[in-house]
């Protein structure tokens, strides 16, 4: 009669233990993605379990290539990562092979997750402008592949289309002097800083745990190699109470098995 609950509890502990081992073991060792190494939480590979990374930090990894990440439905190629300063260097996926954006959308980032670093400026590509169009401060003007017959006009700042059909705003590193080298500069991409706090993760890692995302609670937590399985950090947490103390009504019977 006593045996069945024992077995049940044993099974439950086994299952939780096994899951935690998996949770702990499969996530967040620093990993490489494509040709770049040094990624860790909040990033995860697209194919990793959801709890391995913070939502919005999924990378597409392809052995020979640079990683890509989708932010606000735009595919960016990751040119570099600076984990200490939480900086990613990005370039729009549709501007890798051409100075002209192929998708006529403004560059946007998710400001909940990322900020531009201070060292950027806006450039606007004006498409479909009238033939004799001329603007003050024009940086450059050139033909843009299959985007129409009229040349694209580059102007500084985030500008609306005005008399042109479409404007596409692109962040660019500050300091370029003229159109000379602009292609190069745009290819170098721009920096964004990710805003997910690293401090709790540092604490977690130092305590022997690995940062994971608790999908149910929607927050970053710490996966420990031993119970307690999930905590703020592994060493700081008290020993778990595996069985609840016997209900206070009757004094504990000495013969009761204890887990």
* Chain contacts with ligand NAG (rule: CB under 6 A): 46, 70, 73-75, 104-106, 121-122, 158, 160-161, 166-169
| Nearest distance in Å: CB 7, ligand NAG | 44
Nearest approach in angstroms of CB 105 to ligand NAG is 5
Q: Which residues contact 150 (CB under 8 A, 6 or more apart)?
A: 127, 128, 129, 130, 131, 133
Residue nearest to ligand NAG (CB): 160
> What residue spans of the chain are helical by DSSP H?
3-26, 182-187, 199-206
Cβ closer to ligand NAG: 102 or 198? 102
* Closest to 16 in 3D by CA, of 247, 232, 226, 238: 226
Q: With respect to ligand NAG, which residue has the nearer C-beta, 31 or 120?
A: 120
Query: Closest CB to ligand NAG among 136 and 258?
Result: 136
Q: Which one, 70 or 198, has the nearer CB to ligand NAG?
A: 70
Sign of CA dihedral 178, 182, 188, 194: positive
Q: How far is the CB of 150 from ligand NAG (least distance, A)?
A: 16
Q: Least distance in Å: CB of 56 to ligand NAG?
A: 11
β-strand partners of 126 = 153, 167
CB of 102 to ligand NAG, least distance (A): 10
Residue 171, exposed/middle/buried by CB under 10 A (0-12, 13-18, 19+)? Answer: buried
List all residues 6 or more positions away from 125 whose beta carbon is below 8 Å from its beta carbon.
100, 101, 144, 152, 153, 154, 167, 168, 169, 170
End-to-end alpha-carbon separation of the chain, Å? 17
Nearer to ligand NAG, 61 or 222 (CB): 61
Nearer to ligand NAG, 105 or 138 (CB): 105
Strands lying side by side in the sheet with 58-60 = 44-45, 58-60, 68-71, 74-82, 87-92, 190-194, 114-116
Least separation, in Å, of the C-beta of 81 and ligand NAG? Answer: 19
């Amino acid at each position: 009669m006593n045996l069945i609950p024992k077995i049940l509890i044993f099974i439950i502990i086994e299952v939780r233990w096994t899951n935690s081992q998996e949770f702990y073991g499969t996530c967040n060792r620093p990993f490489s993605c494509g040709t770049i190494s040094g990624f860790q939480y909040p990033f995860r590979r697209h194919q990793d379990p959801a709890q391995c990374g913070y939502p919005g930090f999924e990378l597409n990894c392809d052995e020979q290539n640079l990683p890509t990440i989708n932010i606000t439905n735009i595919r960016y190629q990751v040119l570099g990562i600076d984990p200490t300063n939480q900086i990613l260097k990005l370039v729009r996926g549709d501007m890798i092979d051409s100075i002209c954006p192929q998708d006529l959308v403004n560059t946007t980032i998710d400001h909940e997750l990322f900020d531009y670093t201070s060292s950027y400026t806006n450039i606007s590509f004006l498409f479909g402008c009238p033939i004799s169009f001329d603007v003050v401060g024009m940086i450059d003007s050139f033909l843009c592949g299959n985007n129409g017959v009229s040349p694209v006009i580059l102007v500084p700042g985030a500008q609306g289309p005005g008399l042109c059909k479409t404007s596409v705003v692109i962040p660019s590193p500050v300091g370029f002097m003229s159109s000379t080298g602009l292609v190069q500069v745009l290819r170098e991409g721009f920096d964004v800083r990710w805003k997910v706090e690293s401090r709790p993760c540092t604490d977690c890692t130092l305590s022997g745990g690995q940062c994971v995302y608790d999908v149910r609670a929607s927050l970053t937590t710490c996966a420990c190699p031993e119970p307690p399985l999930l905590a703020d950090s592994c060493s700081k947490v008290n020993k778990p109470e595996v069985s609840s103390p016997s209900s206070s009504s009757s004094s504990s019977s000495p013969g009761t098995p204890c887990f």
